[in-house]
Amino acid sequence: MNIKPIFTKKDRPIVIAGPCSAESEEQVLTTAKALAQQNIDLFRAGIWKPRTRPGSFEGVGRIGLKWLQKVKSETGLKVTTEVANKDHVFEALKHGIDVLWLGARTTVNPFSVQEVADALEGTQVPVMIKNPINPDLKLWMGAIERIYNAGIEHIAVIHRGFSHHGDTGYRNVPRWQIPIELKRQFPNLEIICDNSHICGRRDILKDVAQKAMDLNFDGLMTETHPDPDNAWSDAMQQITPKVFGELVDDLVLRTSTTDDVLFSETLVHLRSEIDEIDTELINILGRRMEIADKIGLFKKDNNIPILQTTRWNEILEKQVSKGQKVGLSEAFMSILLRAVHQESINHQAEVMNKAQLEDLKKG
């Protein structure tokens, strides 16, 4: 594949900004005018919004395309919007939208990607492809291939994080190793970090943007709104154009050699795997304690003491040997299991005492 860049390379990151959704002509133009002063590369606004549940604001539709045309004529900025089916593509092209993007909920579905690809055939409009919702690199690559096979040469990708189970502090976990691997396989591909959808909240937008720069990403896509708290979608993660300008100014840009980048990419790859595993471990331990609580109540109701040595010996024996099979020493397994067991006992004791106290109160 001979993928060509969408943006002309500068000695600073590519910057894409604009509201999550176009809400009104005024909101779109106010945001665009403020961002035009910051020399951004591309103005974004969602017109058709894929919302997780019906009833949320689903975008203003076609009328928003007229507002984007106005952004072009009044500010000179280039504009982009999300397309998810052939009608979106036709409408967007008819209105002179400069760049199209595929959202995470589209990339996940090869039927939709193919429909968009078919509609793009014969055009040369640049396309940005967000990662699929689930951490599946092949699905992401498949979408790139479908769009490329339709004759589109100017393609970039947007990393917006991945869906996950349990609380990680992110709206979508970054799993940096996946975009890094994509870059390794397609070295010419420009890669943009959508810190807004990774973070889901304002306070960590800057850290994630900086991390993307440290990993040699080509640019940022950040949702900006003149009145973020009152945005009709994704209010918690949007920032004003002014705050966005400060965020970009504060970024520390790498001047490292390729070797340094490779070293830090590998390290980040491995560390992010460890972080994810640690998070999973903690979530699993939390779930184990929830079950211990249930057992505590059950034992109390049936008047059974907390500690049952036979059961405990059984666990020790069984799990130590399982641990050894995956390279964990007997000494480590014994410390780990004892600590987990002790925490379970504490949990059970607490729920039993609490329940007993309540029984006493009831008399």
Binding site for Mn ion (CB under 5 A): 20, 234
Task: Give the x-and-dash track for 174-203 against ligand PEP (CB under 6 A).
Answer: --------------------x--x------
DSSP annotation of 154: B
**Strand pairing partners for 102?**
129
Indicate which of ligand PEP, Mn ion, none lies near residue 175 (CB less than 5 to 8 Å, by partner kind): none
- Kindly state the smallest distance separating residue 28's Cβ from Mn ion, in Å: 15
DSSP annotation of 237: G
Indicate which of Mn ion, ligand PEP, none lies near residue 160 (CB less than 5 to 8 Å, by partner kind): ligand PEP
DSSP annotation of 37: T
Backbone angles phi, psi at 227, to 5 degrees: -140, 75
Task: Give the ranges where the chain is alpha helix by DSSP (H).
Answer: 25-36, 63-75, 86-94, 104-107, 110-120, 137-149, 177-185, 195-199, 205-214, 241-250, 258-301, 309-325, 330-362
- Kindly state the smallest distance separating residue 246's Cβ from Mn ion, in Å: 21
- Using the contact rule CB under 6 A, the part of the chain among 97-105, 109-117, 174-182, 311-319 near ligand PEP is 97-105
Give the span between the Cα atoms of 233 and 236, in whole angstroms: 9
Q: Which is nearer to Mn ion, 20 or 352 (CB)?
A: 20
Which long-range contacts does 352-361 make (Cβ < 8 Å, 24+ apart)?
352/296, 352/297, 352/299, 352/300, 352/306, 355/297, 355/300, 356/300
Task: Give the x-and-dash track for 237-276 against ligand PEP (CB under 6 A).
Answer: ----------------------------------------
CA angle, 44 then 111 then 121, to 5°: 65
Contact criterion met (CB below 8 Å) for 14 and 209: no
CA distances from 7 to 126, 167, 217 (A): 10, 36, 13
Number of residues that bind ligand PEP (CB under 6 A): 10
Indicate which of Mn ion, ligand PEP, none lies near residue 103 (CB less than 5 to 8 Å, by partner kind): ligand PEP
Q: Which is nearer to ligand PEP, 131 or 272 (CB)?
A: 131
The footprint of ligand PEP on residues 290-319 (CB under 6 A) is none
Indicate which of ligand PEP, Mn ion, none lies near residue 228 (CB less than 5 to 8 Å, by partner kind): none
The CB-nearest residue to ligand PEP is 103
Q: Which is nearer to ligand PEP, 16 or 268 (CB)?
A: 16
Q: Which is nearer to ligand PEP, 136 or 280 (CB)?
A: 136
Q: Which is nearer to ligand PEP, 41 or 352 (CB)?
A: 41
- Kindly state the smallest distance separating residue 232's Cβ from Mn ion, in Å: 10
The footprint of ligand PEP on residues 98-157 (CB under 6 A) is 103-105, 130
**Strand pairing partners for 220?**
15, 193
19 binds ligand PEP (CB under 6 A): no
The footprint of ligand PEP on residues 33-62 (CB under 6 A) is 46, 50
Nearest to 15 by CA among 163, 143, 194: 194
CA dihedral 126, 140, 52, 172 (to 10 degrees): -110
The footprint of ligand PEP on residues 156-175 (CB under 6 A) is 160
Give the span between the Cα atoms of 6 and 3, in whole angstroms: 9
Binding interface with ligand PEP (CB under 6 A):
20, 46, 50, 103-105, 130, 160, 194, 197
